[in-house]
Structure 1
Amino acid sequence: MTQDEVRYGTQRAAAARNRAVILDAAHDLLADNPNASMNEIAKRAGVGAGTLYRHFPTREDLLLAAYRHDVQRLVDSVADRLATLPPRQAFERWFEDLAGYIRVKHGLGEALHTAAAQEAINETYEPVTAAIGQLLRAAERSGEVRAGLDPGDVLLLMGFLWRIPPGPGRAEQSRRLIAVVFDGLSPDQPGDDDRSGTRRRS
Structure 2
Amino acid sequence: MVATRPRRADAQRNYDLLLAAAAQVFAERGTDAPLDEVARRAGVGSATMYRHFPTRSDLLVAVYADEVTQLCARGQSLLTATSPAEALHEWLRLFMDHITAKRDLALAATDEQSTDLVAEWHGSMLTTASALLDAAKRGNAVRPDLDVRDLLTLVKGIALAATDQPQAERLLTVVVTSTTTR
- Fold agreement, TM-score > 0.5: yes
* Contact 2:19 2:62 (8 Å CA) reproduced: yes
Structure 2 residue aligned with 1:179, among 157, 165, 173? 173
Mean alpha-carbon deviation: is it higher for 60-69 or for 37-46? 37-46
Note the 1:50-199 alignment, pairs <5 A. 50-102=47-99, 103-107=101-105, 109=107, 112=110, 114-163=111-160, 169-170=164-165, 172-187=166-181
* Contact 2:60 2:109 (8 Å CA) reproduced: no
Residue 14 in 1 paired to residue 10 in 2?
Answer: yes
* Gaps in structure 2 of 5+ consecutive residues: none
Q: Aligned equivalents of 1:98 and 1:27: distance in 2? A: 17
Q: Aligned equivalents of 1:108 and 1:131: distance in 2? A: 18
- 2:37 corresponds in structure 1 to 40
1:161, distance to aligned residue in structure 2 (A): 4.8
Q: Aligned equivalents of 1:47 and 1:165: distance in 2? A: 39
Runs (4+) of structure 1 exceeding 6 A deviation are none
Identity %: 32
Q: How many residues align?
A: 176
What TM-score do the two structures reach when normalised by structure 2? 0.79
Q: Deviations over 1:116-170 (max 9, x none)?
A: 343321121221111001110222233321114222222222212551579xx53
1:96, distance to aligned residue in structure 2 (A): 2.9
SS in 2 for 1:144: coil
**Compared with structure 1, are the counterparts of its residues 33 and 145 closer, same or farther at alpha carbon in structure 2 (3 Å cutoff)?**
farther
Q: Deviations over 1:24-75 (max 9, x none)?
A: 2223343444334322322332222221111112211111111111112211
Q: Deviations over 1:79-126 (max 9, x none)?
A: 3223333323322322333234333341355664x2134332112122
1:22, distance to aligned residue in structure 2 (A): 1.6
**Compared with structure 1, are the counterparts of its residues 107 and 78 closer, same or farther at alpha carbon in structure 2 (3 Å cutoff)?**
closer
* Gaps in structure 1 of 5+ consecutive residues: 1-7, 190-202
Task: Report which structure shows greater RCO (CA 8 Å, sep ≥6).
Answer: 2
**Compared with structure 1, are the counterparts of its residues 161 and 30 closer, same or farther at alpha carbon in structure 2 (3 Å cutoff)?**
farther
**Compared with structure 1, are the counterparts of its residues 97 and 31 closer, same or farther at alpha carbon in structure 2 (3 Å cutoff)?**
farther
